[in-house]
Amino acid sequence: MNETLSLFELNNLVRSVLEQTLDGEYWLQAELSEARLASNGHFYAEFVEKDKDGRSLIARARATMWARTFNMLSPLFERATGERLRAGLTVRVLVTVEFHELYGHSLNIINIDPTYTMGEMARRRREILEQLQAAGILEDNRQLPMPRLMKRVAVISSAGAAGYGDFCNQLGHNAYGFFFETHLFPAVMQGANVEASVLSALETIMAEAEDFDCVVIIRGGGATSDLSDFDTYALAAAVAQMPLPVIVGIGHERDETVLDHVAHTRVKTPTAAASFLIEHQLIELTEQQELQRRINEAAIVLIQEQRQALERLTTFLPRAFALMHERQQRRLDNLSARLATAPQRHLLAAAHQQERLWQTMMQAAQLRFQREKGSLQLLAQRLKAVDPTLLLQRGYSLTFNAEGRLIKSVSDVQSGEILHTHLADGTLHSVIKTIDKGN
C-alpha cells in the first residue's frame, strides 16, 4: 500500500524533484499580464502565453524580481527601450524556477534582455503601419490640403497639463499679433485609458469638423515609456481618417509612435506645435503682403498707362469732335432735304398701295366664292346619293323597331317584337316569330 503524505510533504517532494531535475537558469519569452511595484521595492508580475489566435491562455506563471535586482535592471531597461516594465509588454527574461511548500510555483527574475522588447515594439508598430497601408488609409490625413488660415484649433490634451498651458501661452503671445481660437477636448494622455479617451475626443471633433481648421494632439512632459499607449491600430486609423489636418506633438526628438506616421504633421513638443501654427500664419501673411505689393505695383503701372492714354485722348478729342460735327451736319442737311419731299412721296406710295390692296381683295373674294360654290355642289351630290328615298326606289327596304331604331342585325331584335318595314310604296308591320342566325 502506498504511503500517505501530508500536503507539506508532497510539496516538499515536488520541490526536491524540481531542484534535482531542472537547470539553474532559463531564458523565458512571455507577455506580462500583470506588473506591480510594491512599497517594499519588490516587483511582482504574472507571465502568460496565449494560443496562436491570441484569444485563450495556454500557460500562466507568477514571477518576482527582488528590489535589489529591480533597482539595477529597471533603469537599464527603461533607458534602452523607452518603456517601463508594464502589463502588455512582451519580454525576454532570465529566470530561475522556484517552488515553495506554502506559495507554490513561481519564477525569480534575475536578468532581462531589453533588445528583445525593442524588437517586439518595433514589430508591433510595423504591423500596425502595414495594416493601415493594406486598408488604404495610411496617407489619407497627410494628403489633406493645409488650410491657408488656421485660426480655429481643436486641441486634444490633458486639461491640467503644463504642455497644454505652454501651447496656449505661445499662441496667445505670439510676436505677430495673430489671433487663434482654441477649443480643448480633454483626454487622458497616459495610461491604459489613452486609446478610449483620445478616440472619444476625435469622434466629438469629427462631428463638429466644420467649426475647426485643424486638430492638435499634444502631450507635454511625462515618461517616454508612456508613448506606447498611443501605438494602437484604432487610434492610428481614427487620426488617419480625420477630415481635418492633424498635428501631433506627443514625444521628444528621438521618440516615435504610430501617430507620427499617419498624422498630417509631426512636431516634437506642444510649444513646437504652437510654433508651427504661428509660422504657418506668418507664411500666409508674407504671401499676402507680397501679393499686396505686386497689386500695388501693377496698379501704379496701370494708372500711368491710363494717364498717358487720357493725355493722348485729350489731344485727339478736339480734332475728332470737329470731324464728327462736320459729318453730322452733312447728315442733317440730307435729312432736311428728304423731309421736304417726304409727304408727297408718302401720299403717292399710299395711293398705289391702296389700289394694289383693293385689287388683291377682289381677286381673293372671287376665288373664295368659286371654291365655296364647288364645295356646296359636291355636298349636295353626296347628300342625294345617301337619300333613303332613292334607296327604297331601288328595291331596298328599311326596318325599324317600335322605338324607331334601325335594325342592322338579327341580334337587335327579340321573338315577339313588332317591326316596321318601309318600302318605296308603303310600310309593312310584322311580328317576329322565329330568328335564324348565321348564313
The 3-class secondary structure across 370-383, one letter per residue, is: HHHHHHHHHHHHHH
Contact yes or no for 105/62 (Cβ under 8 A)? yes
Measured CA to CA, the distance from residue 388 to residue 396 in angstroms comes to: 9
- Ramachandran area for residue 54 (φ above 0: left; ψ -120 to 50: alpha; else beta): left
* HSE of 398, CA atoms in CB hemisphere, 13 A: 16
pLDDT band at 174 (very low <50, low <70, confident <90, very high): very high
pLDDT digits (tens, 9 = 90+) for 117-134: 777 777 888 888 999 999
Contact yes or no for 222/186 (Cβ under 8 A)? no
Q: Any alpha helices (H) in 386-411, and if so which ranges?
A: 388-393
**What residue type is 6 in one-letter code?**
S
Phi, psi of 181 (to 5 degrees): -105, 105
pLDDT given at position 1: 52
More confident residue, 142 or 56: 142
pLDDT given at position 223: 58
Count of Cβ atoms closer than 10 Å to residue 302 Cβ: 10
pLDDT given at position 24: 84
422 CB-near residues (< 8 Å, 6+ apart): 392, 397, 398, 399, 400
Residue 175 C-alpha cell reads as: 510676436
CA 46 to chain centre: 46
Q: Which domains does the chain have, with CATH numbers?
A: 7-112 (2.40.50.140), 130-283 (3.40.50.2300), 390-431 (no CATH)
Whether the per-residue pLDDT at 439 is higher than 60: the answer is no
pLDDT given at position 94: 94
Measured CA to CA, the distance from residue 105 to residue 61 in angstroms comes to: 8
168 CB-near residues (< 8 Å, 6+ apart): 182, 274
Question: Across residues 144-148, what is the average pLDDT?
Answer: 92
Residue 126 C-alpha cell reads as: 510595423
**What residue type is 12 in one-letter code?**
N
pLDDT band at 139 (very low <50, low <70, confident <90, very high): very high
Burial class (CB in 10 A: 0-12, 13-18, 19+), 87: middle
Rg value, the chain, Cα: 54
pLDDT digits (tens, 9 = 90+) for 195-232: 999 999 999 999 999 999 999 999 876 655 567 778 88
pLDDT given at position 279: 94
243 DSSP 8-state letter: S
With both helix axes pointing from N to C terminus, report the angle between 270-385 and 162-172 in degrees, rounded to the nearest 10: 70
Closest among 344, 171, 341 to 247, alpha carbons compared: 171
Contact yes or no for 219/163 (Cβ under 8 A)? yes
Contact yes or no for 330/338 (Cβ under 8 A)? no
Closest among 107, 113, 96, 98 to 47, alpha carbons compared: 107
Question: Across residues 286-304, what is the average pLDDT?
Answer: 88
Measured CA to CA, the distance from residue 128 to residue 232 in angstroms comes to: 7
Element (H, E) at 434: none
- Cell 510555483 found at: 105
pLDDT band at 51 (very low <50, low <70, confident <90, very high): confident
pLDDT given at position 143: 94
pLDDT digits (tens, 9 = 90+) for 236-284: 999 999 999 999 998 665 567 889 999 999 998 899 999 999 999 999 9
pTM for this one?
0.54
pLDDT given at position 204: 96
With both helix axes pointing from N to C terminus, report the angle between 233-240 and 114-134 in degrees, rounded to the nearest 10: 40
Whether the per-residue pLDDT at 295 is higher than 60: the answer is yes
Whether the per-residue pLDDT at 89 is higher than 70: the answer is yes
Helices (H) and strands (E) in the chain — how many of each?
9, 13
Beta strand 426-431 pairing with 181-186: unpaired
Whether the per-residue pLDDT at 2 is higher than 80: the answer is no
